[in-house]
Chains A and B, each alone.
Chain A
Amino acid sequence: MDIGITLFAQVLAFTILIWLVNKYMWGPLNDVMEARRAKISDGLSASEQGKKDMERAEQQAQEMLKEAKQEAASIINQAQTRSSQIVDEAKTTAIEEADRVKAGAQAEIDQEVNRAKEALRKQVSDLALIGASKVLGKEIDAKAHQDVLNDLVSQL
């Protein structure tokens, strides 16, 4: 149990061993482990990044889909509005056209009726003249009985 020079020998040995372990064991191994740690953490952060990117892309896709759906819906809406508009317009035009045609026809009918009436009046007056001349047996001057004839015609 003598403490002596051995103590100093052991101090020296311990000191040198610390230095050697630091240089040849801890140093290189720690470098390797540090490198691995960095690699793993890089990989993890990259995967995290990738996951985030994917999420963002998915979100974007979702948004685009939503937008497209909205657009489609609005286009359909527009088309419907437009089509009903067109139908309405066509209806209005058709009604107008029909009215016009009807009015034209009516006018023509009226005209025709008037003409027929006119012709009939004339014939009535002629017939009256002829009949009267036959009854009287002589020629009747149309001019002389113009007033009577006109009166007759207007009564028809």
Chain B
Amino acid sequence: MSAAEQSSGGGSVEYIQHHLANLNVGGFNIDTIGWSLFLAGVILFMAHKVRSNLQAGTPGPFQNFVEMILEFVSTQVKDSFPGHNPLIAPLALTVFLWVWLMNFMDLIPVDLLPAIAHGVGIEHFKVVPTTDLNTALAMALVIFGLTLYYNIKVKGLGGYLKMFLFHPFGKYAIPANIVMTGIEELAKPLSLGLRLFGNMFAGELVFLLIALMTLGATLSAGLLIWFPLQVVLDLVWLMFHILVITLQAFIFMVLTIVYLGMAHQKADEH
């Protein structure tokens, strides 16, 4: 690692910046796309494995595990989604699994995969797709598209526009209503994407900061303090992060369900 040779503050900044840069080829963030597709493949492999030995009577341990996740997701859908739409539950499942797996990449030691990539000549390599704003916003955008579609489908185009005109202040404040509802509708996908991105980005940054503690250190008395401290901090943050990645995946899923549920509600009287 080039940054490792320098022990000044500039070295730390460079180390972090180096870590936060994507492998970009022709405008595509190859690492983000590659890892997210790989993790999608993991989900599909899981699906394939379950389907290869699908049993209604006595499910095996792996089928039980997958069923447990399915049950969990469909409970969430039943709790927060009014009415019935066969798309919502698989959508929520996809969101949960994919986001969780992408977040999970954060638990792999921050330098491991980039170092391997460096070894085969790749300069920048970011392994956590959700720390790339593109991924988080892409998912939020899909959700936004779906809410838009169902808003118009359920409420009708007129009903949807009426919501912009008469919500939340009634019919005497139409300009304010348009601004307020517009902000509200736009804030939903934006906050959805940015929340995930922000949490994962910050989490990775903390891992990088912990990694910085012994960066470029030589064998010395100081190492006796820094190294155990680093191990302890890393372990604590790692355990905490298991919670964070699961929580973020869960929040993304629940908000997806809730936003789509709101889109499915008929226009109420305002």
Chain A residues within CB distance 8 Å of chain B: 1-11, 13-15, 17-18, 20-22, 24-30, 32-33, 35-36, 39
Contacts and interface: CB of A to CB of B under 8 A. Distances in A.
A4 B48 contact: no
Interface residues of B, dominant DSSP: helix
Nearest to A5: B27
A18 B28 contact: no
Of all A-B residue pairs in the complex, the 5 with the closest CB atoms, nearest first, are A10-B138, A25-B47, A22-B90, A26-B90, A6-B134
Interface of B: 20, 22, 24, 27-29, 32-33, 36-37, 40, 43-44, 46-48, 50-51, 54-57, 59, 63, 66-67, 70-71, 74, 87, 89-91, 93-94, 97-98, 129, 132-135, 137-139, 141-142
Given A21-B97, A32-B56, A6 B47 contact: no
A6 B133 CA distance: 10
Given A6-B135, A18-B90, A29-B66, 13 more contacts: A3-B137, A5-B28, A6-B134, A10-B129, A13-B33, A13-B138, A18-B91, A18-B94, A26-B93, A27-B90, A29-B54, A30-B89, A33-B70
B54 A10 contact: no
Contacts, number: 116
5 contacts: A7-B134, A11-B141, A18-B90, A22-B91, A30-B89
A20 to B, nearest CB: 6
Nearest to B71: A33
A33 to B, nearest CB: 6
A12 to B, nearest CB: 8
Nearest to A37: B56
Contact of B142 (A14, A26, A29): A14
B33 A26 contact: no
A17 B91 CA distance: 9
A17 B43 contact: yes
A4 B33 CA distance: 12
Contacts of A30: 70, 74, 89
Nearest to A32: B56
Contacts of B36: 10, 13
A6 B55 contact: no
Contacts of B89: 26, 30
Contact of A4 (B27, B44, B50, B90): B27
Nearest to B51: A28
A33 B87 contact: no
A24 B48 contact: yes
B44 A24 contact: yes
